[in-house]
Structure 1
Amino acid sequence: MREQRIILVGFCLILSGLGLVGFQTDFQHFFPGKEWKDDQGVHINAHGGGFLIHEDIYYWFGEHKIAGKEGNKAHVGVRVYSSKDLYNWKNEGVALEVHDDPNSLLVKGCVIERPKVIYNEKTKKFVMWFHHELKGQGYDAALTGVAVSDQVTGPYAYLESVNPNAGIWPENYPDSLKSKPVNLDEMEAWSAEWRAAVVDGIFLRRDFDRGQMARDMTLFVDDDGKAYHFFSSENNQTLHVAELSEDYLSHTGRYTRVLPGQQNEAPAIFKKEGKYYMFSSGLTGWKPNPGKSAVADHPLGPWTPLGNPTRGTEEEMNTTFWSQSTAVIPVLGKEDAFIFVGDRWTPENPIDGKYIFLPVQFEDSKPIIRWQDQWDLSFFDQNESTDE
């Protein structure tokens, strides 16, 4: 009997190696920065991720990467995973596929980044927005794309990609600046004159007619059901926050400039005790940099900088633990418990990128993150903020 069991176990291991039986995982902790396998034994492939909680299940949407130099372009699309506990994730397949049709803007080889999905209670639709760059055009298009589905895991039907708010001024942009000339050719880039012009909205005015640039992004749905689109605009120098339409499929035309000229990318938003908090990063390409944080009384602002949220060694603080923010996850069943999510990019082999999940704490009324080699959700039961 014992020999039969050994043979059976060995046979199952062989089948598992051949991919003929499922790979079982049973994680009970987070291991930030380590390889994280899904239910099939494959490293989770959902970079620049967004998270949706629907019917008490977490859904993780992210960029599907491939190996090699072309890996940061979209050759598959947006993948989605599901979890009931945040530790163990089931591969639910490709939520949004790219196409072979060269006439489609969503053709293979374009760029799809930071996909985020929200649920519309009124229409009962799931809506995905993402940063979209056109095939063969680098990062010149600076579009934002939208897709919709009846099912949380998809498939999502691509609708369009746009430069938002064409012909519309931000509601916090003064009339005195609207007629100023767009004389970029007369300035030296990064000079004091250029920086002052950026703060005054020279790129905003340049793009007024065609619509604004929309790169790194996130979505946020407030308690009243209104949804907001946060995106890096104006040559990545200034964030825009735009209100979405009632069906979440377009913009209403109501938007604001946030932290002008302060170079915020990778926004991640959460709400605690009536205040809105943002994690973001600076501009260093794929290289990590010191993180940023800010607070506001309304998604449209004004936003007040709170400084670097990272606590640790100088190197850790200068690199946000070698990561870039992408999302903040509220934890089901725990009041005011949030998880910071960051990507560790590996542009030379994008499929190998890792993730960090770290608990958000508060110190002197500021959101902060500290490194944990290993942790679990009981952290929130045992640790309290150090607000004074």
Structure 2
Amino acid sequence: MPSALPIADPAPLDGLLPASVVTGASSRNFGVYLHVPFCRVRCGYCDFNTYTSDELRGAKRGNFASQAIAEIALAQSVLRDSSVPERKASTVFFGGGTPTILPVSDLAGMLHAVVETWGLAEGAEVTTEANPDSVDRDYLFALRAAGFTRVSFGMQSAVPYVLATLERTHDPERIPLVVQWAREAGLQVSLDLIYGTPGETLADWEISVSQALAQHPDHISAYALIIEDGTKLAGQIRRGLVAMPDDDVQADMYELADSRFSAAGYQWYEVSNWARDGAFRSAHNLGYWVGHDWWGVGPGAHSHVGGVRWWNVKHPAAYADRMAAGLSPAAGRETLDDETRRVEAVLLQTRVRAGLPVARLDPAGRTAVAGLIADELVDARAALAGRVELTMRGRLLADAVVRRLLDD
């Protein structure tokens, strides 16, 4: 989760939710996100809420699992006391940071607490992110034995100097090994790529795409590098030490990736995500995009239940203090009004291949659809069926499409 937190109302210390969250709860899936905020090193481009060992201010990694389990117990109490209908978790996702920096027994313990608290829906997806150099064969087999179904490896690139620019620590030759071990363990495999790193050429990117496809993953994510204020990489660009990513080159890289992925049998289902078929889509992330409910556990984690969104205190030490005191770790929250929820649906569902129902648009937005079709940004046949679905050109200009749907 990004480290910047919005300005909103203080959250109550007991975490109790307003009565409005009950409406429609039974029709929404429920997911659990566990944020493990620890990394061995901080990558220069990253602005997520993560901490290296010298930034912990007395917090200890070894205590984290018990603190997260305490928040899971709190979550159960809050949802029950707020009269939210009980639902099994349809997805569980461990993100970071580097979740696999912790002993596998810690991840297993946290997952066990989720299962004991809510249970898992039939066919539930249970994922952890992992750096390729943070796991070995035994670790991956232990994850599967604990109930994990899926692992998402941060491959990012197959080109050593690109990895060095990003300050990623793994050897690209390790990717085939970890994928093989994960497969042998019975885990689904996703590979995450980043394109547009300063100095990266189209030929470099094609090497990374080819190497990713050679592993035959179930799922691939490819994200354009975004230079976030306050990161080390942003400072290097500001001082002229490295070049700013070129938008046109990034567009060429996206088109190349989509072409290669499609030819290999992968279908795009969100602007930056492709899967071998529908069964391998990231159900957890789809829950974010379509507005389902999730509870975020851990420092800086965000949650959403029935139009109420909140976020936890950021630093692991502050989080530890809240949990030790038996208080909600939430730092702030906001209740979204109907118009804000509609706007967010446009922002998020437009990016998904299933599309945004035209009915979610206001009159001006519905009028804008005709112009977007004429500009070859929105698929005409999908629009006739009542959906806003992006064309390839529309995916490249997704932000502009959203602005026209909201501003026209």
Query: Structure 2 length normalisation: TM-score?
Result: 0.31
Specify which structure has the bigger relative contact order, considering alpha-carbon pairs within 8 angstroms and separated by 6 or more residues: 2
Q: Which has the higher strand share?
A: 1
Q: Which has the higher helix share?
A: 2
Query: Structure 1 length normalisation: TM-score?
Result: 0.33
